[in-house]
Each structure stands twice: as C-alpha cells, then as structure tokens.
C-alpha cells in the first residue's frame, strides 16, 4: 500500500478509482500510452467483486475465454496491468475531490474544458494528486441483500452464505439456492460437480438471467421451485438441517432437507462520498458523454459506475469504455498525442504518445 504526500507534489497523469477488471485494464492501457498511473481501491486486494465475492465462479462472457474462473481472470488482468508498474493504494476509501491548480501552477476555476487541472483526492488514509481521473468503481461500495428469515443471522457464514469463496464448503451437501438472477443460476450450475443436490427457489416464475444459462440449468438434476420463498430454517443438534419454503401463490408449504443455503438476491450498493462530488449522478451511476467524460474536465468514468444512453453492463463493454477514457485522457494531457494511437501491436513504437 502506498500513499502520496501532497506537499511532495507527486502528481500522477492518471488516477483510477477502482481495482476491478475495468480499472485493471485501464491501468494497462494507460501504461501502454506512457502515462504515470495509480489505482486506488477500498478493498485489500485487486479484482473488485470478482475477488471479494466469487473467485471460484466461472465467467462466460469475456472474449477469448469459453469460460474462465474469476480468480484466474483477475490474475491475468493484474499481470497485464503490472507490466507498467502502476502505483497501487489498497484499503483506501476516497472521500473528497478538489481542484487545486492548473498543470502550469496557476490558479484554476473548473469552467474551462481546455484547462489541464490538478485534482486533489483525499482518502481515509492519504492525499492523492492527479491531472486526470478515471472512476471505475463498479457499483460502488456493495453489500449483499440479506435474508429477513428469523434466525438467519445465527447461521451467517456457517450454513447461510451470501458469497461463495470456496466450493469445497458445499461438497456432498444438500444445498438450497435462493434467487433468480445471473448469480443464482450461475452458482447452481457451478456447484453441480461438488454437491449432493441443489434446490433453487425463486419468488417468481421468470428468471433474470441469460437464456443460455437457464437452458443449461434446466438440463441438470437441480430441483427448481418457482413462486417460492424461504420462510424458516430448521436446526437439529446445533446444525442446520432443513428449510421451510412457501409457495406465494397457493400458500402450500414444503420442508426441505438442507445443509447449506446460498442467497443470491442482489446487492445494496452506493457510490459513497463520490455521490457528493460535482458530477451528474443518474440512478446511482455517473452520467458520461461519448468519450466517457464527465462534465468536469479531465474526469472520466467507465464500467458499471458509468451510464449513457444504450449502456450495457458487461465486463467486455467495460474494457472498451476504459480504453476510450484512457485515450481521451492522454489526448487531454498532450494535444499532440493522437486519440487513437494505432493498434496495440504498434504501441511499442511510440514515444510520448506520438506515433513514430
């Protein structure tokens, strides 16, 4: 972990808030464009949600990979980014943003989009100075939505799970999966090779998941119970042994043999202090233009945290947004540098962003 002393005048070309997949790819791309780069992340490890919530989950929609474990994707992204030795500041939550000067040292007012500014970012652990800023904070600070079933807190991480970090925990167990979105469907598929059985319950009869994933799940032995909700947990001799489920249409009740419950019903997320910065916030996301720029010159956003008309929240599209933001940040810092530097195979033949 590293911190910047504002008094030392250590100003980076680009600071990236968020060390998930999009932030890591942005750091790599900035390195290729010879930008001095820093990543700030509130977690203690790089990788964002992929590392924190589901390292053993398969990711299916990354180009070039028929499927890839989240932890392996993160490992490759970190290796790719670290080729250019970005400074990494982990365990830091950003708090305030302030314009302190123009790059030439003069006073500045954030009204001229042609000015290259220096921004001062204060975190809970230090001060960071940067000429441009790329916010790749994903959904922001996140926490899983939890069960309201009586006694659920008692079993948290010891029978009731809101994330799957080790599949071995579920080996030869009867598992109840709660949810109907991509995460619930993906985990029901991913755990097939280790569990004794899986029952999936969903409060509706429509799944909010990729059609292909649902089709694959229907071809497994998974017992699927729609219009069903968890009503209670059953304990015997100090361990979880069952669950009571109710059909919200017929009110019919079922008692299931259950050793472990995996709850995937969404997340509560927040931009935290970023939502108080002078940025246009729309439904919890940062509104950007076609260059991924915000209304503040030199500040960009990419990935899940950014929104624009026609937005698709995919890792794959986030990578492209990161590249767009970095290229325009480079051009802002050096107007002689082309926005499009050439294909990646040509970047090794550049100096200061100008194609030779």
Query: DSSP for 44-110?
Result: SSTTTHHHHT-TTSEE--STT-SSEEHHHHHHHHHHHHGGG--EEEES--EEEEEEEEETTS----T
- Is 79 part of any domain? yes
One domain, residues 234 and 188: yes
- Is 1 part of any domain? no
One domain, residues 19 and 135: yes
Closest CA to 143 of 331, 269, 285, 2: 269
| DSSP one-letter code for 196 | S
CA distances (Å), origin 7, targets 3, 105, 348: 12, 14, 34
Tell whether the model's pLDDT for residue 68 goes beyond 70: yes
Distance in angstroms (rounded) separating the CA atoms of residues 208 and 166: 25
Please state the rounded mean pLDDT for residues 306-315: 95
Distance in angstroms (rounded) separating the CA atoms of residues 131 and 271: 22
Whether 326 and 311 have beta carbons less than 8 Å apart is answered as: no
pLDDT at 52: 86
Crossing angle, helix 70-81 and helix 21-32, to 10 degrees?
20
Q: What does the pLDDT look like over 1-33, one tens digit per residue?
A: 333 344 445 899 999 999 999 999 999 999 999
Kindly state the helix (H) or strand (E) to which residue 129 belongs, with its residue range. Answer: strand 127-135
- Is 78 part of any domain? yes
- Is 157 part of any domain? yes
Tell whether the model's pLDDT for residue 109 goes beyond 70: no
Distance in angstroms (rounded) separating the CA atoms of residues 229 and 35: 51
Indicate the number of domains in the chain. 2
Can you name the residues that pair with 37 across neighbouring β-strands?
14
One domain, residues 258 and 285: no
Distance in angstroms (rounded) separating the CA atoms of residues 122 and 23: 19
Distance in angstroms (rounded) separating the CA atoms of residues 273 and 259: 40
Burial 316-344 (b: 16+ CB within 10 A, else e): ebbbebbbbbbbbbbbbbbeebeeebeee
One domain, residues 340 and 319: yes
- Is 221 part of any domain? yes
- Is 168 part of any domain? yes
> What order of strands is seen across the sheet that includes strand 253-257?
228-236, 239-247, 253-257
One domain, residues 185 and 279: no
One domain, residues 170 and 256: yes
pLDDT at 219: 97
**332 confidence band (pLDDT: 50, 70, 90):** very high
Phi, psi of 109 (to 5 degrees): -120, 135
pLDDT at 261: 98
Q: Retrieve residue 193's tokens.
A: 């090779």
User: Mean pLDDT score of the chain, rounded to an integer?
Assistant: 89
One domain, residues 103 and 151: no
Tell whether the model's pLDDT for residue 348 goes beyond 90: no
Boundary (domain end) residue, out of 215, 245, 265: 265
One domain, residues 84 and 186: no
One domain, residues 58 and 116: yes
Domain interval for residue 42: 6-141+268-355
Tell whether the model's pLDDT for residue 350 goes beyond 60: no
CA distances (Å), origin 54, targets 48, 163, 187, 278, 319: 10, 6, 9, 33, 20
Three-state DSSP class for residue 352: coil
Whether 225 and 217 have beta carbons less than 8 Å apart is answered as: no
Q: Considering only 63-67, 73-77, 309-313, 349-353, which range has the smallest mean pLDDT?
A: 349-353
Boundary (domain end) residue, out of 207, 240, 265: 265
pLDDT at 343: 64
Whether 304 and 313 have beta carbons less than 8 Å apart is answered as: yes
CB atoms within 10 A of CB 276: 12
Tell whether the model's pLDDT for residue 186 goes beyond 50: yes
Boundary (domain end) residue, out of 223, 246, 265: 265
CA distances (Å), origin 316, targets 25, 64, 165, 312, 328: 11, 11, 23, 9, 19
Phi, psi of 203 (to 5 degrees): -75, -10
- Is 205 part of any domain? yes
Three-state DSSP class for residue 232: strand
One domain, residues 153 and 117: no
Please state the rounded mean pLDDT for residues 174-198: 96
One domain, residues 131 and 174: no
- Is 276 part of any domain? yes
Whether 90 and 18 have beta carbons less than 8 Å apart is answered as: no
**Sole residue written with tokens 């970047």:** 347
Whether 264 and 178 have beta carbons less than 8 Å apart is answered as: yes
Q: What's the CATH code of the domain at 153?
A: 3.50.50.60
One domain, residues 24 and 135: yes
pLDDT at 354: 40
């Amino acid at each position: 972990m590293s911190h910047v002393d504002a008094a030392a005048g250590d100003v980076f070309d680009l600071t990236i808030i968020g060390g998930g997949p999009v932030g890591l790819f942005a750091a790599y791309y900035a390195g290729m464009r010879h930008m001095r780069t820093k990543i700030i992340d509130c977690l203690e490890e790089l990788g964002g949600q992929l590392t924190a919530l589901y390292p053993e989950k398969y990711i299916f929609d990354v180009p070039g990979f028929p499927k890839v474990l989240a932890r392996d994707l993160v490992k490759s992204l970190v290796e790719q980014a670290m080729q250019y030795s970005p400074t990494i500041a982990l365990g830091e939550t950003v708090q305030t943003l302030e314009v302190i000067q123009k790059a030439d040292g003069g006073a500045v007012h954030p009204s001229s989009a042609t000015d290259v500014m220096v921004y001062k970012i204060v975190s809970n652990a230090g001060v960071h100075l940067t000429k441009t800023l790329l916010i790749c904070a994903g959904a922001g600070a996140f926490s899983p939505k939890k069960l309201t079933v009586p006694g659920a807190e008692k079993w948290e991480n010891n029978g009731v799970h809101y994330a799957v970090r080790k599949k071995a925990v579920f080996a030869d167990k009867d598992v109840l999966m709660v949810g109907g979105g991509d995460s619930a469907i993906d985990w029901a598929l991913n755990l097939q090779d280790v569990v004794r059985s899986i029952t999936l319950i969903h409060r509706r009869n429509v799944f909010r998941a990729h059609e292909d994933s649902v089709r694959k799940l229907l071809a497994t032995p998974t017992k699927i119970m729609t219009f069903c909700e968890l009503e209670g947990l059953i304990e015997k001799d100090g361990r979880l042994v069952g669950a009571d489920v109710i059909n919200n249409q017929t009110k019919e009740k079922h008692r299931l043999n259950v050793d472990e419950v995996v709850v995937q019903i969404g997340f509560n997320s927040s931009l935290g202090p970023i939502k108080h910065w002078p940025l246009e916030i729309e439904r919890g996301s940062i509104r950007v233009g076609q260059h991924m720029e915000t209304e503040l010159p030199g500040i960009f956003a990419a990935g899940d945290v950014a929104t624009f008309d026609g937005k698709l929240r995919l890792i794959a599209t986030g990578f492209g947004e990161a590249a767009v933001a970095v290229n325009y940040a480079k051009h802002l810092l050096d107007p002689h540098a082309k926005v499009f530097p050439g294909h990646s195979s040509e970047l090794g033949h550049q100096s200061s962003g100008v194609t030779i």
